[in-house]
Amino acid sequence: MHISDFDYDLPPELIAQEPVRPRDASRMMVLNRATSRWIDSQFRRLPEFLEPSDVLVLNDTRVIPARIIGKLERANGSSRDVEVLFATPVSESAWEVLCRPGKRIRKGDRVIFADGKLEGTFGDVREQGLRLLHVNSSAGKLLQSHGHIPLPPYVNREDRPSDAIEYQTIYANAPGAVAAPTAGLHFTEWMFEALRKKGIEIIMITLHVGIGTFIPVRTEDPAQHVLKPERFAISEEAALQLNAAQDEGRRIVSVGTTTTRTLEYVFGHNRRFVAGSGEADLFILPGYEFRVVGAMLTNFHLPKSTLIMLVSAFASREKVLAAYHYAIEQRYRFYSYGDCMLIT
């Protein structure tokens, strides 16, 4: 494999800057892996493409307002503003963070947030541009009151109060993500009711989407890329439901790449679904044998990303890129706030 194998050209105007309103009004391409054919549809028609015996699994992580502006105080006495993304808690008093601009930050530099309500001292530089930040009190509480929703960099605008609702699934429950599980953004209460009426079982698991999901692949050979682990949790009830579905031969329909990776990681390690929490670092590339997921709902992903590689592993690179080129011709909306694809 080569990184260029997963590249495609996307006109910038097809990158969705706003969500569809209402949520379930988005378009949906339906790709059949067996026939290599696709059709144009609408997300509201999702139940028509599912069977009553299907099990729908979603990621109930909640995006935290992880982006905040602070005042950087250098050891030499200079100061300037710096944007800090609180990416992953390491302990109660330390976080892995991304800074912008961040190249000239040194160990021992201090940062002050919200007029002194929170202070931090930078520690060691870690992999993938992360830095350790030691804080003097709870960062979580301060972020809730002063932080901003961390919209992806391809959304070329500042976040607005509406993004705190729209860049969040309606079933978001467990705070901890720095990016939304975007395939779930299309769901409404009406859709859940329609799915239940058809007899489809709905299961929630958790994967806190971290920077590992969207860090670019910089190696020429994608297999050399190391995926940063992300925290997951599966409840006792969810594990029981998933194992029953497996035993009964029911199709598991995964909503999103994050859900897919979590399901495959947990089952691959245990050969059963086991309740508990941990860190998933499974990097799914073409050639991977899926053990659990039988269908997937997903958005359209960035070229050369780990996400398009996962989708290519599920449906083949050739089928996925052909479908993407068609989606571009038909002016589908791409990325986080864009349209979706059901792969069966």
In this prediction, residue 337 has a pLDDT band, given cuts at 50, 70 and 90, of very high
pLDDT digits 0-9 by tens, 67-82: 999 999 987 777 889 9
In this prediction, residue 185 has a pLDDT band, given cuts at 50, 70 and 90, of very high
pLDDT digits 0-9 by tens, 90-108: 988 899 999 998 888 999 9
What is the 3 state secondary structure string of 20-84? Answer: CCCHHHCEEEEEECCCCEEEEEEHHHHHHHCCCCCEEEEECEEECCCEEEEEEECCCCCEEEEEE
User: In the prediction, which pLDDT does 172 show?
Assistant: 98
Task: Please state the rounded mean pLDDT for residues 298-302.
Answer: 98
User: In the prediction, which pLDDT does 213 show?
Assistant: 80
pLDDT digits 0-9 by tens, 140-151: 888 999 999 999
Which residue, chain included where needed, has tokens 């953004």? Answer: 185
Q: Which homologous superfamily is 67-146 in?
A: QueA-like (2.40.10.240)
In this prediction, residue 116 has a pLDDT band, given cuts at 50, 70 and 90, of confident
pLDDT digits 0-9 by tens, 46-75: 999 999 999 999 999 999 999 999 999 987
User: In the prediction, which pLDDT does 333 show?
Assistant: 98
User: In the prediction, which pLDDT does 78 show?
Assistant: 78
Whole-angstrom distance, CA of residue 304 vs CA of residue 317: 12
User: In the prediction, which pLDDT does 282 show?
Assistant: 95
CB-CB contact of 176 with 159 (8 Å)? no
Whole-angstrom distance, CA of residue 74 vs CA of residue 108: 8
Instruction: Please report, for the chain, the start and end positions of each structural domain, with discontinuous segments joined by +.
Output: 3-63+163-343, 67-146
Do 3-63+163-343 and 67-146 share a fold?
no
Whole-angstrom distance, CA of residue 329 vs CA of residue 342: 18
Strands (E), 74-218: 79-91, 94-100, 110-113, 118-125, 131-135, 174-177, 201-207
User: In the prediction, which pLDDT does 75 show?
Assistant: 73
Q: Does domain 3-63+163-343 have CATH number 3.40.605.10?
A: no
Query: Which of 161-175, 183-197, 214-228 is least confident?
Result: 214-228
User: In the prediction, which pLDDT does 92 show?
Assistant: 82
